[in-house]
């Protein structure tokens, strides 16, 4: 199995490499790919050093899978070029998410939509991923009518520059800003640029991606996304209205049995999800489960997950794992095995 990681030197790309190693993904040849200025440098994977190569060089290697985390503009140009040599691209940018011809996948929710004809598969937005993982079992049981979500998103979602801004501000140092305002001791109610309707692109991603992933355009979603001075994960306050009445204990049971979900919900011992708990974990943590006493059939919940892992890198690797487990790439694996 030949695997390329495009954007291998970035926050998400390096996390992809880490997770591929942790999960012992069956790689026979690894091709780390980055911008021209990084070509020739090395990265470490499973105790070995690998040289970073260019896009063109990677395409020439015809990898079976390419995990992309290099930004939307790069993906729009290069993902089709990889696909043209029959590489399956799993793209972490927003470039292909709402393209009707491309699948938008969270394995716990809708992996079965993937077919052998899909050569570019989109990885959803980090805040959308964790929300739909938690909501899927509840949607199946009660049918969701409306979601009101407010997010509290880690600076790691922006990248290295944002992390440096936060840490340097905390030390009282002057620093080049990733945000238009100070982030330490502050909250910024803007993630991505504003659109004509007054919402940001991040907010509209949550609206549109949720309907596509859940396969139900009747679900109404309204979102407010906020950047907070946190490293470790994104948190979400979610108010969800169902078509059917629900039992709170059954909700807990459904969530406890759901793949990729951990319930932490015991106010008597102050047990609830926090970014400190979710950091470096792949699960989605859910707690603060309670009825909305102002409206029928409506639940309040608190959802936390590591945005670099499940919100990005882990989800992409899980898609790759599904390609193997489902047999979509079985023929290629057999060929690779025969050549070893």
Q: What is the DSSP string of 29-88?
A: EEEEE--GGGTT-EEEETTEEEE-B-HHHHHHH--SEEEE-S-HHHHHHHHHHHHHTTPE
| Whole-number percent of the chain with pLDDT over 90 | 95
Q: CA-to-CA distance for 14 and 19, rounded, in angstroms?
A: 9
d(CA 122, CA 307): 16
Domain 2-95+312-339, classified CATH 3.40.50.720, yes or no = yes
- pLDDT band with cut points at 50, 70 and 90 for residue 7: very high
The pLDDT value recorded for residue 174 is 86
The Cα–Cα gap between 118 and 109 comes to: 18
- Residue-wise pLDDT tens digits, 42-92: 999 999 999 999 999 999 999 999 999 999 999 999 999 999 999 999 999
Tell me the average pLDDT across 324-337: 69
pLDDT, tens only, 244-267 = 999 999 999 999 999 999 999 999
* Banded pLDDT at 175 (limits 50, 70, 90): confident
Residues of the chain with CATH 3.40.50.720: 2-95+312-339
**Backbone phi and psi for residue 90, each to the nearest 5 degrees, phi listed first:** -110, 110
Q: How far apart are CA 33 and CA 13, in angstroms?
A: 9
The predicted pLDDT at position 339 comes to 43
Q: Which of 103, 139, 212, 234 is catalytic?
A: 234
Count of other CB atoms within 10 angstroms of residue 239: 17
Q: What is the pLDDT of residues 182-221, one digit of tens each?
A: 999 999 999 999 999 999 999 999 999 999 999 999 999 9
Whether 215 is catalytic is no
Q: Half-sphere exposure of 155 toward its Cβ, with a 13 Å CA cutoff?
A: 25
Which residue intervals of the chain bear CATH 3.30.360.10? 127-306
Structure confidence at residue 4 as a pLDDT band (50, 70, 90): very high
User: How is residue 244 written in tokens?
Assistant: 């059917």
Query: Above 70 in pLDDT, residue 333?
Result: no
* Dihedral angle sign, alpha carbons of residues 155, 39, 21, 84: positive
Q: What's residue 274's pLDDT?
A: 98
The total of other beta-carbon atoms located within 10 Å of residue 100's CB is 5
User: Which of 1, 79, 126, 214 is labelled catalytic?
Assistant: 126
Q: What is the mean pLDDT of the chain?
A: 96
* Catalytic residue check, 139: no
Going by C-alpha positions, the residue among 37, 121, 154, 41 that lies closest to residue 323 is 121
Neighbours of 274 (CB within 10 A): 16
Closest by CA position to 238, among listed 279, 179, 284: 284
Residue 2 clears pLDDT 70, i.e. is over it: yes
> Can you read off the two tokens belonging to residue 209?
């991606």
Specify the pLDDT at position 218.
97
CATH domain 127-306 topology: Dihydrodipicolinate Reductase; domain 2 (3.30.360)
> Is residue 270's pLDDT more than 60?
yes
Instruction: Report the alpha-carbon distance of residue 121 to residue 88 in Å, rounded.
Output: 8
């Amino acid at each position: 199995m030949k695997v390329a990681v495009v954007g291998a030197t970035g926050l998400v790309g390096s996390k992809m490499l880490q997770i591929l190693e942790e999960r012992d993904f069956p790689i026979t040849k690894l091709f780390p790919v980055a911008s021209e200025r990084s070509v020739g440098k090395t990265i470490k994977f499973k105790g070995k050093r690998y040289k970073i190569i260019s896009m063109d060089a990677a395409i020439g290697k015809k990898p079976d899978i390419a995990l992309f985390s290099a930004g939307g503009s790069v993906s729009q140009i290069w993902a089709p070029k990889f696909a043209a040599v029959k590489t399956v691209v799993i793209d972490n940018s927003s470039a292909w998410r709402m393209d009707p011809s491309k699948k938008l996948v969270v394995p716990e929710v809708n992996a079965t939509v993937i077919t052998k004809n899909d050569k570019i598969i989109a990885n959803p937005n980090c805040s959308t991923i964790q929300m739909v993982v938690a909501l899927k079992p509840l949607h199946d049981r009660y049918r969701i009518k409306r979601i009101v979500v407010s997010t509290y998103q880690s600076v790691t979602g922006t990248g290295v520059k944002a992390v440096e801004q936060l840490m340097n501000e905390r030390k009282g140092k002057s620093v080049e800003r990733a945000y238009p305002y100070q982030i330490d001791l502050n909250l910024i109610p803007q993630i991505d640029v504003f659109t004509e309707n007054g919402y940001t692109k991040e907010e509209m991603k949550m609206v549109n991606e949720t309907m596509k992933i859940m396969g139900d355009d009747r679900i109404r979603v309204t979102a407010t996304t906020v950047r907070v001075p946190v490293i470790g994960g994104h948190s979400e306050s979610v108010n969800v209205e169902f078509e059917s009445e629900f039992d709170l204990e059954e909700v807990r049971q459904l969530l406890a049995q759901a793949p990729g979900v951990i319930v932490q919900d015991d106010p008597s011992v102050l047990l609830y999800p926090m970014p400190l708990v979710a950091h470096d974990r792949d699960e989605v943590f859910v707690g603060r489960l309670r009825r909305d006493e102002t409206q029928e059939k409506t639940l309040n919940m608190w959802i936390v997950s590591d945005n670099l892992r499940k919100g990005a890198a882990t989800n992409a690797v899980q898609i790759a794992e599904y390609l193997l487990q489902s047999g979509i790439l079985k023929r290629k694996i057999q060929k690779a095995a025969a050549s070893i």
